[in-house]
Amino acid sequence: MTSVHTRRVHDHLHGPGEAEGYVVLVDRLWPRGVKKEALPHDLWAKEVAPSNELRQWFHGLSAAEQAERFDQFVERYRAELSGESADALDELVEQLRGKDTVTLLFGLRDVEHNHAKILAQRLRSRLR
């Protein structure tokens, strides 16, 4: 079974974590202030990130509002993963199949309220 973890991009830049394995950047936009050659990763799966519309809605909220409306975000993002992003998710699952450990990188500071956690849950269930 594949072990799926999440990690902030900026933490990843400071050295490997406990479980790195196959490293996938899962943000739609490249992390601000990070040179492409400076970020060790195996794949940039921007197609499974939240749509621009959903991303802009969520990031337009204050930190407190993000925490309050995270359930709404989760519902909308899961709908995207089952709808418009389903093919990209299927492709990612196939690329990750057989990997022992996968680390999903995300750029947000908030380690609790982010799309990578939702995506990790979906991948864990699909990679069983």
CA-CA distance, 42 to 62, in Å (whole number)?
32
pLDDT of residue 18: 65
At a CB cut-off of 8 Å and minimum separation 6, what does 118 contact?
74, 77, 78, 81
User: Residue 109: its pLDDT value, please?
Assistant: 87
pTM higher than 0.85: yes
Instruction: Give the per-residue pLDDT at 20.
Output: 84
Mind listing the pLDDT tens digit of every residue in the chain (128 residues)?
899 999 999 999 887 666 689 999 999 999 999 999 999 999 999 999 999 999 999 989 998 999 899 999 999 999 999 999 999 999 999 999 999 999 999 998 888 899 999 999 999 999 98
Residues 59 and 61: their CA atoms lie apart, in Å, by: 5
Exposed (0-12), middle (13-18) or buried (19+): which is 57, by Cβ within 10 Å? middle
Q: What is the sign of the dihedral through the CA atoms of 82, 92, 12 and 31?
A: negative
